[in-house]
Each structure stands twice: as structure tokens, then as C-alpha cells.
Amino acid sequence: MLTKEAFNALLKTMEEPPEHVKFILCTTEPHKVPPTIQSRCQRFDFRNIPSGKIEDHLEAVVKQEGLKADPELIAAVARLGNGSMRDALSLLDRLIAAGEQTLTLRLLESLLGLPDREIVGTLIDAIADGDPAVVLEQGAALLDKTSADQVLETFLERFRDLMVIAACGPETELVELTGAARQEEATRAQRFDAAGLVHMIALTESVQRAIKSSSTPRALFDALLVRLAMTEKLADVTALVAGSGATAGAPSKKA
């Protein structure tokens, strides 16, 4: 956030600092630091903290506070931290401030306005069933509590987990789910194939971008839900048309 003039003033101090002074500069935007400053520094790039390590620390904090927390809640907070221990702890502080003795995923959903996990699960099951009516009903229930953009963000996360499980198996460490939540998604993943889920992710991401500039976001949202529910049927029609074309184009055999 320093201006060019402020950086130049800092440079003069850094060129001739007192012997007992060491400067530690921290930034998430190193490209904004002038080369004249960077050339006088040792640079260390820090990686995001793995979610597993964040979970371990969050569990220790909860225990130290004399509280209890569901494993699914700890995993969700770690994911929302996006590799930042500070952000994850800040979110945990907000949950603790609610005054509950047991921290649950439902408390987190209520606090942040996140889509209800059970409703999202029912909606994904309806997609697997190819039932657009139920998908639309559950989609409307989600929009009653949160925004379309947040719902689509949740869809992307859930479809990604299902895709990885479908491709790598239920025990994969690439999915940050524990206990009953992992078992539930493993069972659900059996109803899809990885290729179909890749297609669903692409559709959802495309609509998420389109909604931000649309004057009719609800229409786009509902159209996405119906298309997701009819993905298998549309694939069958495409295969049928392709097959018919191949048959029509093939030379006929004489008896």
C-alpha cells in the first residue's frame, strides 16, 4: 500500500540502517515492491498451509477452549481458510463467540449463510435420478437462504469431490472429507462417472461467470439445474443421433 514516494523514503533508511535493526517486509503482492527494494532483501516465498495441518491446529484450539467440534466442521473451516491459518482461526473465533458448547456444520452454515449441505446432497441425488422437478425445488430452497453465486460455488466444490472420488476411489487423500461425510460422498460418487462430473463442473463454472453480468440470473440458474438433471438423457440423445447418422451414411448391404 506504499506509494512510490514512500518506497523511496524507505529505501534511504534500508541502505544505511542502524546495526541493531532488521527489516522484515511481508506482502501478498511482491510484484508491487520496487526492484530497488527487492534487490536489498532476501526473498522467501511461503506456500499455503495444507488443510490437514490447519485441521490439527484447529482441533487443538477447540480442545484447549474446553469445547467440542464435529469433524466435518473442522474440515470445512480448514477449507474456508484457503491455506491461511490466520483466516481459519478468525472464522473459528466467530464460531466460538456464538456460545455453543458443540460447534457444528449447521452453525457454520447459519453464520456464513452457506448452502445447507443436506439440501445440496438431495439436489445432487436428484441430478443422478434425472429428476428436474426435484432439482428445481431444492434449488429454490437453497436460494431462499443464500445467493446463487454461493450455491454455484458449493456445487463446484461438491462436484469436484465426487469427480476425484469417482476417479481415485473412496480412500483418496485428495478429498478433504472425514467420517460420515466421506462415506456419504463415496456412495453418491458411484452414481456418476468422472467424465460426466467434469462436464457438470464446466457447465456450472460457465453459468457462474454468466450470472454476474446477466439481468436474469434466476433464469440462468434454473436452466443450469435442468440441464444438469438431463445430462445423461442429453448424452443418450447425442449418442443416438450420432449412431443414426453413422447408420444412414453407411453403405447398404444387399441381401
Q: Are 73 and 117 in contact (CB under 8 A)?
A: no
Q: What is the 3-state secondary structure (H, E, C) of 101-135?
A: CEECHHHHHHHHCCCCHHHHHHHHHHHHHCCHHHH
Mean pLDDT, range 42-66, rounded to an integer = 92
If pLDDT is split at 50, 70 and 90, which confidence band does 89 have? very high
Select from 178, 211, 183 the least CA-distant residue to 75. Answer: 178
- In the predicted structure, residue 55 carries a pLDDT above the cut 60: yes
Q: In the chain, where does the domain assigned CATH 1.20.272.10 lie?
A: 117-240
Sequence-distant (≥ 6) Cβ neighbours of residue 207 within 8 angstroms: 152, 220, 221, 223, 224
CA 188 remoteness from chain centre: 18
pLDDT on residue 27: 87
Q: In the chain, where does the domain assigned CATH 1.10.8.60 lie?
A: 51-112
Select from 27, 32, 28 the least CA-distant residue to 3. Answer: 32
- In the predicted structure, residue 254 carries a pLDDT above the cut 60: no
Mean pLDDT of the chain: 87
- Considering only the top CATH level, what class is 51-112? mainly alpha
Got the DSSP string for 136-199? HHHHHHHHTTS-HHHHHHHHHHHHHHHHHHHHH-TT-TTS---HHHHHHHHHHHTTS-HHHHHH
- In the predicted structure, residue 248 carries a pLDDT above the cut 70: no
Residue 204, classified by CB atoms within 10 Å of its CB into exposed (0-12), middle (13-18) or buried (19+), is buried
* End-to-end CA separation in angstroms for the chain: 83
pLDDT on residue 242: 56
Mean pLDDT, range 106-115, rounded to an integer = 88
Q: Rounded to an integer, what distance in angstroms lies between the CA atom of residue 85 and that of residue 169?
A: 29
pLDDT on residue 160: 95
- In the predicted structure, residue 255 carries a pLDDT above the cut 50: no
Going by the DSSP 8-state scheme, the letter that residue 68 receives in this structure is E
Q: Which of 93-97, 196-200, 232-236 has the lowest mean pLDDT?
A: 232-236
If pLDDT is split at 50, 70 and 90, which confidence band does 253 have? very low
pLDDT on residue 252: 46
If pLDDT is split at 50, 70 and 90, which confidence band does 180 have? confident
In percent, the amount of the chain with pLDDT more than 90 equals 56
pLDDT per position as a tens digit, 118-147: 999 999 999 999 999 999 999 999 999 889
In percent, the amount of the chain with pLDDT more than 70 equals 91
Q: Is 69 helix (H, G, I), strand (E, B) or coil?
A: strand
- In the predicted structure, residue 191 carries a pLDDT above the cut 70: yes
Tell me the CATH number of domain 117-240, given options 1.20.272.10, 3.40.50.10470, 2.60.40.10, 3.30.420.10: 1.20.272.10
Q: Are 112 and 87 in contact (CB under 8 A)?
A: no
